[in-house]
Structure 1
């Protein structure tokens, strides 16, 4: 069917005005107390939205891709003295403005936010209370908590079936396994003297966390809730993310300025990719074609082609790029 000049103009106008949803890459600019909103197509930083003067380390987008939730942790590292964050900034991605706030009644150091894969609720680690707080992202109201049974429950992974939560408990060096429906701890798994970050395989069979005392990844069998395997690496690991097809696990190696690519069939490092200074967090695009790695000391995010394993682009951001999230399809 041939379109009239008017109809063609309307379609072009709608596309240009953003009437159709566009994906965005979100980056917590830890050193600038702001959130970068990036067009992943052009690699352009569209805006750096101030969070209110205190540092947010992590970010997640709502299920519909319209809002970004940035827990305001404070100005310290985990387990160290400093300010204790009391809120979560809510940012409208389209208007690039803070439009809401989720306040706690005391210092709680909220940190890692996740969206429930089934219920679409917002889950956030609330470290000083040894809990995960559950929030309705539509009303911005707190509707419950999950216990972790451990201090320093810093990072969180949710199973894709919506049944389990797993926290990396830094100082204790453990992982808590939590039944979401029953709201109780099923098991605390000893891992090492200190552990950081956590991720889960797409089939929910494996949970991964990085040993901070030795250059190795712990692989937890979610059936037995025990450490089933150790994967040696050339440096201490940090953030990790699996590819959507479950074939690869990408792990940041901050002191090596590399990303390790682990073959999940063999549970061995297949290759490493050189990236910018001090890589922190990794996300893989929903289509699995590219991965993004925040490089804290380079103030940038590197984009890696997940077929060639080459860095295809470096996106300059604000100071101390850290937490990453994807908004849209």
Structure 2
């Protein structure tokens, strides 16, 4: 676990050795892996971002020049310029499962936000190949007036932006018709291109004029030109859209552009020949391929925070919770089964940032702390473990059923509510006796649970039945069942108790529930695969973590 403190610095840490001639990098949606296309060794290096080491090396076609992942992170696509193909990598197994013939000398590649199409820049044949990811076939070839180099898909999936260095322009392709619908003149020899997360602007690295062009995507006009370093090649916006990172291949540096002012606010030295760049989903790390050094540089991206301490809590950390006074953080370490079980709950002393105690617990996946801070609760396997926070001893183990996943303590601390995903139930535990006093049948695959501030009601998301169960915390009765969107996964109740917010994983939305009427009063479109949700203390803002597109959506609750 890392502890972050305020700082003003930015900088690149030790570089990670990869294959020969690394040209491009892409991150998994959860940020756990970085995939690097090595043109000189015909491979893709898979970096474990937590360890900062290469975890696997995947042979692909000849001279791979790019890499792009689907939103669910299950497949990666690699254009091989030496063999005129695209390799399809099955991410879970780290193996190539297919090879698709495309145009001549493919260089750039991008996946549509819905994952149904892959677009490939074919430099040798002056075209863009469109691949259907379901059939793994090229369904269209879009002719261009000049050789393409880089390309990107707009966040709404309606446009493909393609740089054409010989024409000093960016071509705009309508994805509905697979036709070029516009051309935007930019700087000299444009290379990399990337849209802002909100899709309102696109940024183009002009290698020949040492600038970045800022395009207004609504008008198709250049609205800004930013001087950067020598021979800029790659461009990567931060998930919050506030910064753009530009690799300067001729200056061995990365320029940091403030998108509000279109000015360079920092220049970060890296290794020789930086080309590709990708920003972590949380925006705190930037990964840069250095073709001249056969390495990847990792930049601490934030200008306001830095890692002050890294605390080794335990194996496979899943969740954490703080005590009300902030003196300790409890971490659920799900652990490894082999060679020996090592799951536990760690208690970190926040004054020293060291583990004060470690309590063996059976595969905990979530943890909660009582309002008075006297007990911590960890759910895993088939039970809930009760830990006395004063002594660090396990005082009870409460059997609840297979795979408890969600925990919520009522505000008065009298009840602990546990979702049991396999059984489709909620266990209500009396915290005074540590006994299950009720088992409430809810919908299919209950995942998350949240208690209302007054403790009267509990809200449970049922991912398998697309609804939310509202339970009387004292009586243990299902008071109502509220239909929401596809696969509800997270839930949070506003501090004023007036609304509950539910993330719907498969429909890119948040359902807004009026707690007085138990009805959905609004549905808010957010990013791809929304999961976690939290409400500000004043109930005025809602924050949603969008797992697949590496963003956080901020909702103004007062406008709903």
- 8 Å contact from structure 1 (residues 276, 300) kept in 2: yes
Residue 87 of structure 1 corresponds to 43
- 8 Å contact from structure 1 (residues 254, 279) kept in 2: yes
How far off is 1:136 after superposition?
Answer: 2.2
- Greater helix share, 1 or 2? 1
For residues 296 and 236 of structure 1, what CA distance do their matches in structure 2 show?
13
Give deviations 1:51-74, integer Å, cap 9, x for gaps: 24x211111122221222212101
Whose Rg is larger? 2
For residues 115 and 236 of structure 2, what CA distance do their matches in structure 1 show?
20
- 8 Å contact from structure 2 (residues 165, 188) kept in 1: no
**Equivalent of 1:159 in 112, 126, 135:** 112
Residue 27 of structure 2 corresponds to 61
**Equivalent of 1:200 in 153, 158, 179:** 153
Residue 96 of structure 1 corresponds to 52
Give deviations 1:263-288, integer Å, cap 9, x for gaps: 11110111101111111010111111
How far off is 1:192 after superposition?
Answer: 1.9
How far off is 1:119 after superposition?
Answer: 5.1
Q: Does 1:132 align with 2:94?
A: no
Give deviations 1:199-236, integer Å, cap 9, x for gaps: 11111111111222222211111111111111122423
Residue 29 of structure 1 corresponds to none
Counterparts of 1:284-303 in structure 2, within 5 Å, are 284-303=237-256
Matched position secondary structure for 2:98:
strand
Counterparts of 1:1-329 in structure 2, within 5 Å, are 14-16=1-3, 42-52=9-19, 54-74=20-40, 85-104=41-60, 108-118=62-72, 120-148=74-102, 150-329=103-282
Counterparts in 2 of 1:66 and 1:193: CA distance versus 1, 3 Å: same
Counterparts in 2 of 1:145 and 1:248: CA distance versus 1, 3 Å: same
TM-score normalised according to structure 1 size = 0.80
- 8 Å contact from structure 2 (residues 159, 173) kept in 1: yes
For residues 180 and 145 of structure 1, what CA distance do their matches in structure 2 show?
12
- Greater strand share, 1 or 2? 2
- 8 Å contact from structure 1 (residues 202, 246) kept in 2: yes
- 8 Å contact from structure 2 (residues 77, 89) kept in 1: yes
For residues 45 and 171 of structure 2, what CA distance do their matches in structure 1 show?
33
How far off is 1:41 after superposition?
Answer: 7.5
Counterparts in 2 of 1:96 and 1:118: CA distance versus 1, 3 Å: closer
Matched position secondary structure for 1:213:
helix
For residues 187 and 92 of structure 2, what CA distance do their matches in structure 1 show?
44
- 8 Å contact from structure 1 (residues 171, 193) kept in 2: no
Higher relative contact order (CA 8 A, sep 6+): 1
For residues 224 and 64 of structure 2, what CA distance do their matches in structure 1 show?
35
Give deviations 1:102-159, integer Å, cap 9, x for gaps: 124xx621221111013532221123332221212232122223332x1111110110
Structure 1 ranges of 4+ moved more than 3 A:
none
For residues 212 and 51 of structure 1, what CA distance do their matches in structure 2 show?
28
* Unaligned ranges ≥5, structure 2: 283-560
Q: How much is the aligned-residue C-alpha RMSD, in angstroms?
A: 2.0
- 8 Å contact from structure 1 (residues 119, 162) kept in 2: no
For residues 303 and 100 of structure 1, what CA distance do their matches in structure 2 show?
30
- 8 Å contact from structure 2 (residues 24, 65) kept in 1: yes
- 8 Å contact from structure 2 (residues 83, 105) kept in 1: no
Matched position secondary structure for 2:82:
helix
